[in-house]
Structure 1
Amino acid sequence: MRLKKELHQLASSFNGSASVQIQFTDWSMEINPNKKMKSASLIKLAILLEGYSLIEQGELTSGEILPINPEMMTGGAGIISRLSVSRPFSVQDMLTLMIAVSDNTAANVLIDLLGMDRINERCRQIGCVNTQLQRKMMDLSSPHENWISSRDTVLLMRKIYEHPLHQDMIPVLSGQQFRHKLPALMNPQLFVANKTGELSGVEHDAAIIMKEGGEPVYAAVLLTDFTDSDEALLLHRKIGKLLSQYMMNNLSGQ
């Protein structure tokens, strides 16, 4: 298949390490799908899934208020730590902020609420063999790291799409504010729900992509060990554009 060959050539030519999985309904393209990489903010997909799973099970309510005090604030991405006045947020607020603006304070509050062990157990239950949440966001003093792979990332996205509360989770992902990687050059007629992740030397993006009336396509592109971040961003955009062109031109109703 021409698309598979072009995707493989693009990712294989990258001057760094790549873990890629593109999953269509009846075929997939993979490069090092089980290669463990620093997860950066992709680990927040696991937190999102566990949060809504507990809501679905009745162990948590989306409207529950979570007080925030200055000691809970952390740096990096997000807006909570930038507010001049501490204020309470609901569980739904935290889940939304954690994804839409990748808020690290929200993620850490949710880790405390849900429990790191429970989040990891959920990952194991669904078959994510390379995913490990071992530290909070921006805990740079920790000797541990958070890990994920493109295979696990696609699996998390699939479980989110197939979840009983997908009607709540998918709008959170489609409200993503960081759309400068995979979605950047995609046709605006396509529906895209994505989550990015970045650290020094790390550029990740994962997306659920759909044509109206069609089945979802899952894409996870994880890049690390590079020296040129512009090259990494360009690869994301090229892969997204290829997928977009194929979906618009070749998939009937998808």
Structure 2
Amino acid sequence: MTHMMVDSDNMAANVMIDFLGGLAPINREIRKLGCTGTFLERKLMDTDALAAGKDNMTSVDDLGGALIAIYNGKLISSDADKQMLKIMAQNKNHEKLPAKVTNATEVYNKTGEFAQFGVENDAAIFVGKRHTFVVAVMSQNGHSQEQIQAESDLGEQLATLMLPTA
């Protein structure tokens, strides 16, 4: 789990898919959690399944809602959600939304990228001294450096507005 989240390791994610019983039980749990725009049709990096039209989908609504629920201890359980935050706090990739944020006391984020399709995603919880906010950004068919720059600029702008220092 830690490698999947902290290192964004797709092989570790595929091991977790197998450990949890495959795509069907995971999709059932996703539905139970109320995520209507999220589903898995293939393992990660399975380009043959992708070429056959099978894809994995999520939405900023589902990502944002899940992060809010995790932060509030209401997604799975208070203990499980705290463990998820602890893992997310270790994420090694802070080049997108958190890159220019200097006024957050804590950052929990998870990135996703698929260079072949110009995908650069990030979803984050930013905690300040008085306020907390969640943001999810998904982009595709772009140029990675431009997308990363735009996401880091957005993170900085939102933190300036949402996490005042005074």
> Hey, what does 2:95 align to over in structure 1?
180
Amino acid at match of 2:121: H
Counterpart CA distance in 1 for 2:59 and 2:156 is 22
Kindly indicate whether residue 54 of structure 2 is the aligned counterpart of residue 147 of structure 1: no
Amino acid at match of 1:193: Y
> Hey, what does 1:169 align to over in structure 2?
84
Q: How many residues are matched?
A: 155
Query: 1:34-93 deviations in whole A, cap 9, x for unaligned?
Result: xxxxxxxxxxxxxxxxxxxxxxxxxxxxxxxxxxxxxxxxxxxxxxxxxxxxxxxxxxxx
CA contact (8 A) 1:181 1:237 kept: yes
Residue pairs, 1:31-180, within 5 angstroms? 95-115=1-21, 116-142=23-49, 143=52, 144-161=54-71, 162=73, 163-164=77-78, 165-180=80-95
Query: 1:151-206 deviations in whole A, cap 9, x for unaligned?
Result: 11112212322232222110100100011000000015431100001112111000
- TM-score, length-scaled by structure 2: 0.86
* Shift in Å, 1:243: 1.4
Amino acid at match of 2:13: A
> Hey, what does 1:222 align to over in structure 2?
138
Counterpart CA distance in 2 for 1:217 and 1:118 is 31
* Shift in Å, 1:110: 0.8
CA contact (8 A) 2:125 2:132 kept: yes
Counterpart CA distance in 2 for 1:229 and 1:167 is 32
Rg larger in structure: 1
- TM-score, length-scaled by structure 1: 0.57
Report which structure shows greater RCO (CA 8 Å, sep ≥6): 1
SS of aligned partner of 2:164: helix
Gaps spanning 5+ residues in structure 1: where? 1-94
SS of aligned partner of 2:163: helix
Q: CA RMSD in A?
A: 1.7
Gaps spanning 5+ residues in structure 2: where? none
Residue among 146, 154, 163 paired with 1:239? 154
Query: 1:117-138 deviations in whole A, cap 9, x for unaligned?
Result: 2221121122211101111111
Counterparts in 2 of 1:127 and 1:109: CA distance versus 1, 3 Å: same
CA contact (8 A) 1:133 1:147 kept: yes
Amino acid at match of 1:175: Q
After TM superposition, which residue ranges in structure 1, 4 or more long, deviate above 6 angstroms? none
